[in-house]
Structure 1
Amino acid sequence: MKRIIVVLVLFAIMATYSSCSVTLNGASIPAEMSTVDVEYFDNNALFVVNNLSQNFTEALKQRIRSQSRLSIVRTPEADAVFSGAIIAYNIAPVSVQATGNGNTPPIANASRLTITVKVKYKPNNSKKGLEHAEGYEQEFTKTADYTGDIGSQEQALILNITKQLTEDIFNKAFADWK
């Protein structure tokens, strides 16, 4: 009998809160929000990888499609807009190995790829139900360490970092709803 009461109480609490928002994979999205516009993220980094902008933009769209009920649209009337740019793409050594003699410079034993994206997320506050929705403008940075030549690993590293970045961007926009 106690289990039935507990289940009914939990069901009543969930029903009360579900009228305000929809939750999926930890995301809380207002019921009034149904569309989002993801603008193209230009690569403004000093070092440009040809497919990085396209791949990042598509990865963010895919993250939204797979983890929410939102539709991706290209219109100023969208319920929210993601915009921004890739602002840094850097490769730097993280550990150095000395060579055998004093005349040869040390070589990088491991290196780190770092990608930084500046993102602006803006809900359409003129729409009913979204008047108090908050946006943000923030930089997101992720890294991946590797050994050896970057050429054979670069696309896999970019994919890994992109996955982490889009997760952070999605969570910042939709897991911070109050």
Structure 2
Amino acid sequence: MKNLKYLLILLVATTFSGCGVYNFTGTGKIDAETFQVNFFQNNADLIEPGIDRDFTLALQDLIQNQTNLNLVSSGGDLTYEGEIVDYRTTPMTATADQQAAQNRLTIRINVRFTNKKKETDDFEKTFEFYKDYPGTTQLVGSSLNAAIKEIYDRITQDIFNESLAKW
């Protein structure tokens, strides 16, 4: 009985000794306390009004929801900045009568990430995603907003993974 007690204590101790700091968002331990997201200017050739503001807010919201970092307007430990460099609609496939059967909305964003606490994490990288839609459909109003939201959800998650989750 005495050996069983020691075996149980040893089993519990080895089980929990391998556990480190883990967060279900995958970020682990972050040394930073604050972050800032500077306004992402729309420098694309084709201008869609408001997408710059929407992207900036989407990135702020994602980081606030998935970390315990505090959003600041300046002097953040982590800084995200950049610009929207491409916004385009491209025909992907054609029908027999030379009409677009499928179109693709693509958004590309250049991001500069700075980590004051760990400069080796700094990067400048382009993130891009797209949404395909039928050629018979025009992306306007709520369908355009839904497509942009889907693209931004993917791009902001990719930025988060690259900067904080290290996936």
TM category, shorter: 0.7 to 0.9
TM-score (norm 1): 0.82
CA distance in structure 1 between the aligned counterparts of 2:106 and 2:12, rounded to whole angstroms: 47
Unpaired runs of at least 5, structure 1: 100-105, 125-129
Q: How does 1:157-168 map to 2 (within 5 A)?
A: 157-168=147-158
Could you say which residue in structure 2 is the equivalent of 1:135? 122
Could you say which residue in structure 2 is the equivalent of 1:50? 49
Tell me whether 1:95 sits opposite 2:93 in the alignment: yes
**Percent identity of the aligned residues?**
28
Could you say which residue in structure 2 is the equivalent of 1:150? 139
SS at match of 1:27: coil
CA distance in structure 2 between the aligned counterparts of 1:174 and 1:29, rounded to whole angstroms: 9
Deviations 1:93-119 (A, max 9, x none): 0110122xxxxxx11011000000000
SS at match of 1:49: coil
Partner AA of 1:74 in structure 2: S
1:109 counterpart (101, 116, 120): 101
Could you say which residue in structure 2 is the equivalent of 1:103? none
Tell me whether 1:12 sits opposite 2:10 in the alignment: no
Shift of residue 8, structure 1, vs aligned partner: 3.2
Shift of residue 132, structure 1, vs aligned partner: 5.2
Partner AA of 2:106 in structure 1: T
Q: CA RMSD in A?
A: 2.0
Could you say which residue in structure 1 is the equivalent of 2:111? 119
* Paired positions, count: 159
Deviations 1:24-43 (A, max 9, x none): 4112342x311001100011
Shift of residue 149, structure 1, vs aligned partner: 1.2
Tell me whether 1:25 sits opposite 2:14 in the alignment: no
SS at match of 1:28: coil
Partner AA of 1:28 in structure 2: G
Indicate conservation of the 8 Å contact 1:36/1:81, yes or no. yes
Evaluate the alpha carbon distance shift between residue 5 and residue 108 of structure 1 in structure 2; reply closer, same or farther with a 3 A threshold.
farther
Moved over 4 A (4+): 1-7
TM-score (norm 2): 0.87
Shift of residue 9, structure 1, vs aligned partner: 2.3
Partner AA of 1:117 in structure 2: I
CA distance in structure 2 between the aligned counterparts of 1:13 and 1:25, rounded to whole angstroms: 19
Could you say which residue in structure 2 is the equivalent of 1:127? none
CA distance in structure 2 between the aligned counterparts of 1:109 and 1:3, rounded to whole angstroms: 65
2:81 counterpart (83, 91, 112): 83
Q: Whose helix proportion is higher, 1 or 2?
A: 2
Deviations 1:111-160 (A, max 9, x none): 00000000000001xxxxx2454111000010110011122521111000
Unpaired runs of at least 5, structure 2: none
Evaluate the alpha carbon distance shift between residue 93 and residue 121 of structure 1 in structure 2; reply closer, same or farther with a 3 A threshold.
same
Shift of residue 11, structure 1, vs aligned partner: 2.1
SS at match of 2:129: strand
